[in-house]
């Protein structure tokens, strides 16, 4: 099928985290609902009812309560959200042979198969899919259908909440995108928008009318791909398998900022254990490790080094991470965020083995065997013991990046 004849669907759950909480807490229907990050400090998602009170993503809980004092605030649970996400994914795979698990609440799929499975127009069968998912999972979704991924996503955004929007006619596409801000297009961030605005390109209509060579010069070939996509040419294929990462990172906020060495070492080890777990799942080894620290006082520090050999074993990665941490740590300052990053990745079994340094992941294998039976983190390093509250709180069992298989990150 040529790019001009493809029909691509984009399925996007409406206020997914809030909707997921309403599935298991039915009394929360129609009540302003905010979902909090794992430290409970800020709102990471909100229902439409709460959004109407001016609560935005990232707002601290104390500010959100002032804006919406009668709202309900719940700490997030990515393990539960993954359950519902995979139920949706399994369903979409029954209606199309080509499905991309783009994010925990978004899926791209080949929509040309819909009219083969169901009778009716493309809009009518999209409504059938929408209602089927609502019945099976309890999660309301919106669907956009068009001739490219970019247009399908713009269509689903337009249809929210609980809407379906098909955008197939070329003249209709041109009219629809004309006045849409170019930053509404996934892949055009603030810096790219500034470059474009310097050439009078501020809307999707401006972008379509611009010369493709100019777009390539300003935004490289990725920008030119968006130019073709906005013209209805599906140049970016549906990725049924997640492409290889350029890097994998684990970390983030450590909660209350601190310079306590025991707490900081505990967070370092926790992040390494999660990183090793992720590399095992993806069957990666890394040749290089980085540690990045952010301080409450506003400073940032990072360092990286090449490993003695490509590895995914904590017996090698943890000592290197500790060494890099010591080189970055400003002891008199309080650390607020920490990231451990593995890059220069290779697939396990395809990398060149060293003749002199060989690390066996025996300890990691033992942890995995125990935790597969008893639950995540039931067996973990004793250096994580200072984080009692973290491991006692089920909300900390999963983070969004621990939901594997998505193509977005």
Give yes or no: residues 257 and 150 share one domain.
Answer: no
Closest CA to 215 of 203, 223, 225: 223
Give yes or no: residues 149 and 34 share one domain.
Answer: yes
Give yes or no: residues 253 and 163 share one domain.
Answer: no
Give yes or no: residues 255 and 398 share one domain.
Answer: yes
Residue 199 forms part of a structural domain: no
pTM higher than the cut 0.85: yes
Give the range of the structural domain holding residue 128, as residue numbers without chain letter. 1-168
Residue 213 forms part of a structural domain: no
* Number of domains, the chain: 2
Q: Which residues contact 404 (CB under 8 A, 6 or more apart)?
A: 278, 281, 282
**What tokens does 4 get?**
């001009």
**Rounded Cα–Cα distance for residues 396 and 273 (Å):** 14
Give yes or no: residues 374 and 280 share one domain.
Answer: yes
Residue 47, SS3 per DSSP: coil
Give yes or no: residues 22 and 130 share one domain.
Answer: yes
Give yes or no: residues 163 and 259 share one domain.
Answer: no
Give yes or no: residues 255 and 141 share one domain.
Answer: no
Chosen domain end from 168, 195, 214? 168
Residue 217 forms part of a structural domain: no
**Rounded Cα–Cα distance for residues 48 and 62 (Å):** 19
Residue 210 forms part of a structural domain: no
* pLDDT tens over the chain, length 409 residues: 445 568 999 999 999 999 999 999 999 999 999 999 877 889 999 999 999 999 999 999 999 999 999 999 999 999 999 999 999 999 999 999 999 999 999 999 999 999 888 889 999 999 999 999 999 999 999 999 999 999 999 999 999 999 999 999 999 999 999 999 999 999 999 999 999 999 999 999 999 999 999 999 999 999 999 999 999 999 999 999 999 999 999 999 998 999 999 999 999 999 999 999 999 999 999 999 999 999 999 999 999 999 999 999 999 999 999 999 999 999 999 999 999 999 999 999 876 666 565 566 788 999 999 999 999 999 999 999 999 989 998 888 888 889 999 998 7
Residue 219 forms part of a structural domain: no
Residue 223 forms part of a structural domain: no
- Is 61 within 8 Å of 36 (Cβ atoms)? yes
Give yes or no: residues 6 and 136 share one domain.
Answer: yes
Q: What share of the chain is helix, strand, coil (3-state, %, to 5)?
A: 45, 20, 30
Residue count (the chain): 409
Give yes or no: residues 37 and 125 share one domain.
Answer: yes
pLDDT of residue 398: 87
Interior angle at CA 328, CA 268 and CA 380, nearest 5: 10
**Rounded Cα–Cα distance for residues 289 and 275 (Å):** 11
Residue 362 forms part of a structural domain: yes
Give yes or no: residues 164 and 262 share one domain.
Answer: no
Give yes or no: residues 38 and 164 share one domain.
Answer: yes
């Amino acid at each position: 099928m040529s790019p001009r004849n493809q029909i691509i669907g984009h399925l996007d759950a409406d206020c997914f985290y809030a909707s997921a909480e309403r599935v298991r807490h039915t009394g929360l229907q129609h009540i302003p609902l905010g979902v909090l990050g794992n430290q409970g400090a800020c709102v990471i998602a909100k229902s439409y009812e709460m959004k109407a009170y001016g609560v935005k993503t990232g707002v601290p809980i104390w500010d959100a309560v002032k804006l919406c004092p009668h709202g309900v605030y719940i700490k997030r649970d990515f393990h539960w959200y993954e359950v519902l996400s995979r139920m949706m994914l399994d369903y979409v795979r029954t209606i199309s042979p080509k499905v991309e698990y783009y994010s925990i609440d978004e899926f791209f799929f080949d929509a040309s198969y819909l009219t083969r499975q169901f009778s009716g127009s493309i809009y009518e069968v999209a409504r059938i899919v929408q209602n089927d998912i609502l019945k099976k999972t309890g999660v309301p979704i919106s669907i956009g259908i068009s001739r490219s991924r970019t247009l399908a996503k713009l269509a689903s955004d337009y249809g929210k909440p609980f809407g379906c929007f098909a955008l197939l006619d070329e003249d209709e596409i041109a009219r629809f995108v004309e006045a849409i801000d170019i930053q509404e297009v996934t892949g055009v961030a603030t810096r790219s928008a500034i470059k474009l605005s310097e050439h009078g390109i501020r809307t999707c209509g401006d972008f379509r009318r611009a010369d493709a060579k100019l777009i390539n010069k300003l935004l490289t070939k990725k920008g030119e791909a968006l130019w073709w996509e906005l013209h209805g040419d599906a140049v970016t294929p549906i990725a049924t398998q997640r492409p290889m990462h350029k890097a994998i990172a684990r970390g983030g906020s450590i909660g209350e900022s601190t310079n306590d060495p025991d707490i900081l070492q505990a967070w370092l080890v926790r992040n390494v254990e999660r990183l090793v777990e992720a590399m095992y799942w993806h069957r990666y080894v890394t040749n290089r490790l980085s540690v990045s620290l952010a301080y409450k006082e506003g400073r940032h520090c990072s360092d990286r080094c090449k490993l003695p050999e490509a590895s995914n074993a904590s017996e090698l990665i943890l000592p290197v991470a500790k060494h890099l941490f010591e080189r970055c740590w400003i002891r008199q300052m309080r650390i607020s965020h920490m990231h451990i990053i593995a890059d220069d990745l290779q697939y396990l079994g395809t990398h060149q083995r060293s003749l002199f340094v060989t690390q066996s992941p025996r300890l990691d294998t033992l942890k995995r065997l125990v935790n597969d039976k008893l639950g995540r983190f039931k067996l973990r390093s004793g250096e994580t013991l200072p984080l009692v509250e973290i491991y006692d709180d089920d909300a900390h069992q999963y983070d969004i990046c621990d939901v594997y298989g998505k193509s977005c990150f």
